[in-house]
């Protein structure tokens, strides 16, 4: 379906058009392409297709090449002001920490579990590439994958695939063929390399296929549980988590589950033992889902709109940017062949009620017929209120709050960008990079 959309994308990229929009609706406003509204000449790299100096945020973009051994810092005129190369290919996520060091997931060359986005190794490096900390979890039963998060306490949060052998899974009500690989979260203390907290999705399953087996129940009446048979798939990658973000104010973790088209909210305040049960923690649910959104059909809820048609990067807006406390979510949009970026208002109090519309309010969204990536991708809110969109198989777009397209960077054929992280030019984090 991705390439069926190619003609539409090419036409949209080549056209000179504007879509009129009333002030009180959510229609997209697209500036005429090919125009340079700047009175002074600007030396733009050929990859920069749209550049509106009066309205862009003149920041730097960390472009993370998924599955490659490189990344680069990009300015708005299209110059790569800093390039990074690594010994192993990235297992997707890479980010610059507040202390100027680099945190990333890398691919284990001997990994036995190799679904898309696998890693196996996580590293912290200084700016000259020296590895200061490394942790490996990669064998026949577990592998680190996709995303990594540095927590405020200095611990590292990791996303892990956990193998459950077919015989064990079947005995618990799974109808999936073969071994299954549900999601697991682990928190590592880098000073001791010990796991100080963990959460297993497999501890919170429900099934309505076989009343003679454990975990049987009415899925629609237990929205805090995970239907283990929602997405039977031959290779066992039944959930495909791909993104995590931590909310320090609420002490919860947002986990995007691509194959469920959902984001799950998990209570981090629990102990590991509580996280294996349905009680305890600040929200009283233990490790059961505190909240979920994007696809109410995943728990047989016929109420609420399905907006999550595959998704990546649940990005909690923080640090005083416009919409602080809300979440940006890149919805890949398999069915329609068009991707959408949503800004969603997180509820003050998490609530999941059967047969009720539990979906969050849409605060803002951006949809453009030329944007479609079936994999990876994400969005960042910039400090001037604009939104930076990473279209994974194309490049980057910057749009204003009124949905005016003010910058576009075309990475070229073969582009495969995991995400784009935003840094102000004078950000102290970049002080040691010699820019």
Per residue in 264-315, pLDDT (tens digit) is 999 999 999 999 999 999 999 999 999 999 999 999 999 999 999 999 999 9
Which of 25-34, 340-349, 369-378 has the weakest average pLDDT? 25-34
Q: If you average pLDDT over residues 414-431, what whole number do you get?
A: 93
Q: What is the pLDDT of residue 186?
A: 98
Contact 69, 51 (CB under 8 A): no
**pTM value surpassing 0.85:** yes
Residue with tokens 């784009």: 420
* DSSP strand pairing (156-162 vs 142-150): antiparallel
How far apart are the two ends of the chain, measured CA to CA in Å? 41
pLDDT higher than 80, residue 28? no
Tokens representing 139?
Answer: 């064998």
pLDDT higher than 50, residue 414? yes
Tokens representing 224?
Answer: 């805090």
Q: If you average pLDDT over residues 222-242, what whole number do you get?
A: 95
Which of 34-43, 67-76, 100-109, 413-422 has the weakest average pLDDT? 34-43
Q: What are phi and psi of 168, to 5 degrees?
A: -70, -45
Q: What is the pLDDT of residue 43?
A: 93
Q: If you average pLDDT over residues 412-424, what whole number do you get?
A: 94
pLDDT higher than 50, residue 21? no
- Counting Cβ atoms within 10 Å, is residue 54 exposed (0-12), middle (13-18) or buried (19+)? exposed
pLDDT higher than 70, residue 12? no
- Integer CA distances (angstroms), 216 to 229, 289, 353, in order: 11, 17, 19
CA 118 to CA 136: how far, in whole Å? 12
């Amino acid at each position: 379906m991705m390439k069926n959309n190619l003609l539409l994308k090419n036409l949209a990229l080549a056209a000179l058009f504007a879509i009129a929009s009333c002030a009180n609706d959510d229609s997209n406003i697209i500036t005429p392409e090919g125009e340079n509204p700047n009175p002074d000449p600007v030396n733009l790299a050929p990859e920069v297709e749209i550049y509106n100096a009066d309205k862009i945020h003149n920041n730097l973009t960390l472009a993370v090449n998924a599955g490659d051994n490189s990344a680069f810092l990009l300015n708005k005129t299209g110059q790569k002001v800093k390039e990074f190369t690594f010994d192993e290919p990235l297992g997707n996520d890479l980010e610059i920490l507040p202390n100027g060091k680099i945190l990333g997931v890398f691919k284990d060359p001997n990994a036995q579990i190799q679904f898309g986005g696998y890693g196996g190794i996580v590293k912290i490096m200084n700016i000259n590439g020296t590895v200061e900390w490394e942790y490996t979890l990669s064998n026949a039963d577990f592998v680190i994958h996709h995303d990594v998060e540095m927590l405020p306490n200095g611990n590292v949060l990791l996303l892990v695939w956990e193998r459950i052998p077919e015989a064990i899974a079947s005995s618990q009500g799974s109808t999936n063929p073969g071994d299954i690989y549900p999601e697991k979260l682990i928190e590592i203390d880098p000073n001791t390399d010990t796991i100080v907290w963990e959460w297993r999705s497999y501890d919170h399953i429900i099934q309505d296929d076989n009343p003679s087996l454990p975990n049987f129940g009415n899925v629609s009446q237990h929205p805090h549980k995970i239907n283990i048979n929602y997405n039977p798939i031959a290779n066992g990658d039944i959930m495909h988590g791909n993104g995590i973000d931590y909310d320090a104010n609420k002490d919860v973790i947002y986990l995007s589950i691509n194959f469920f088209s959902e984001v799950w909210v998990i209570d981090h305040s629990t102990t590991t033992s509580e996280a294996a049960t349905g009680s305890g923690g600040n929200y009283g649910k233990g490790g059961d889902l505190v909240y979920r959104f994007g696809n109410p059909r995943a728990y047989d809820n016929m109420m609420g709109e399905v907006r999550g048609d595959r998704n990546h990067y649940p990005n909690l807006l923080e640090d005083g940017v416009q919409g602080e406390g809300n979440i940006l979510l890149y919805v890949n949009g398999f069915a329609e062949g068009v991707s959408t970026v949503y800004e969603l208002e997180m509820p003050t109090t998490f609530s999941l009620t059967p047969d009720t519309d539990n979906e969050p309010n849409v605060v803002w969204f951006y949809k453009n017929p030329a944007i479609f990536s079936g994999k990876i991708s994400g969005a960042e809110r910039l400090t001037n209120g604009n939104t930076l969109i990473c279209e994974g198989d194309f490049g980057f777009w910057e749009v204003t709050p009124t949905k005016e397209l003010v910058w576009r960077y075309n990475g070229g054929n073969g582009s495969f960008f995991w995400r784009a992280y935003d840094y102000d030019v004078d950000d102290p984090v970049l002080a040691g990079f010699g820019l």
